[in-house]
Structure 1
Amino acid sequence: MAFSSLKDIYIDQMQDIYSACKQSKAATQKLHDAATDDELKKALKAGSDGIQDGMDTLSEIIKGHGEDPTDEFCKGMEGLVKEVHAHVLDEDFSDDDVRDAMIITQYQRMAHYAIAGYGCCKAFAKRLDQTDDVTKLDKCLDASYDGDRHMTEIATGSVNKSAAA
């Protein structure tokens, strides 16, 4: 695709985040299965559900602009998912608490990618006067921030303490 306008970039980046969400949802479901801390498992389930909500929103916005949400493949998230495999799923842990601490680390890296993507798309939508899109993207951005903060609370509240013991 040749980019000739901010709208072209806007659509491309929403498609990128859609792809990132699809990949991170599958990885998050695997992280959920590997987790042992009950609060962490609940947060990962909620994260997976939230990622799906974001995908649904992005799909609606992108289709509303006459485009296909699946026209892009996010290589950035592909790399982060490889990190999930390398540092959690394919790694041996002698301590479940240590694994849970690493799960939070890898989840938050994926969440930060989503935060950056949603933030950029929201800024583009504002500049393009797409007020309905701004509102929808702002909800996705807030949900991503909330999920990230919740993971930090779990890490600092119990998981990291248990992993350090």
Structure 2
Amino acid sequence: MAISNLHDVYHDQLQDLYSACKQSLDVTTELAQAASNDDLKKALNAGAQGISDGMEKIAQLCNDHDIDPNGEHCKGMEGLVKEARAHGLDEDISDADARDAMIITQYQRMAHYAIAGYGCLRAFANRLDLDGDGAVLTDCLDASYEGDRTMTDIATGQVNRDAAA
């Protein structure tokens, strides 16, 4: 797709974020299975559900604009997913608490990518006077922030302390 205006940027980035969510969904589920802390498992499973919900909303926005949500492949998230698998799942980590700390690190990196994507898309939608889109994207952004804060609370409240012991 040739990009010639902000509408084109918006459409391109909707597709890119859909791809990012699609790629992060499976690894988030895998991270939940590998986690040992019950609160972390629950938060990761909730994160996977949030990613799925976000994908549905992005797909609907794409359909509303007559674009295919699968029109892009997000190389940024591809790299983050590879890192999450390499460090959170495949790394030889002998301590379960240390693995949980690593899992949180990898998940938050992916979450921050999503936060940046949703934030940019919301700004584009608002500039383009796409108020309905902006409201949907605000909901997705708020959910991503909440998931990130939950991970920080789990890390600072128990996982990092246990990993340091």
Q: Could you list the structure 1 runs, at least 4 aligned residues long, displaced by more than 4 angstroms after superposition.
A: none
Residue 84 of structure 1 deviates from its aligned partner by 0.7
One-letter code aligned to 2:86: A
* Residue 97 of structure 2: aligned partner: 97
Q: What TM-score results when the alignment is normalised by the length of structure 2? A: 0.99
Measure how far apart 1:85 and its partner are: 1.5
- The within-5 A match list for 1:41-120 is 41-120=41-120
How large is the Cα RMSD of the aligned pairs?
0.5
Once the two structures are aligned, what percentage of the paired residues are identical? 65
Q: Which residue of 2 aligns with 1:15?
A: 15
Q: Does 1:146 align with 2:146?
A: yes
Structure 1: any 5+ residue segments left out of the alignment? Answer: none
The structural deviation recorded for 1:90 is: 1.1
Residue 86 of structure 1, CA deviation: 1.4
TM-score by length of 1: 0.99
- Cα deviation for residue 88 of structure 1 reads 1.5
Structure 2 residues without counterparts, runs of 5 or longer: none
Q: Distance in 1 between matches of 2:88 and 2:131?
A: 40
CA drift at 1:93: 1.1
In structure 1, the partner of 2:4 is 4
The answer to whether 1:135 aligns with 2:111 is: no
Q: Look up the equivalent residue of 1:45 and give its one-letter code.
A: N
Q: CA deviation at 1:89?
A: 1.2
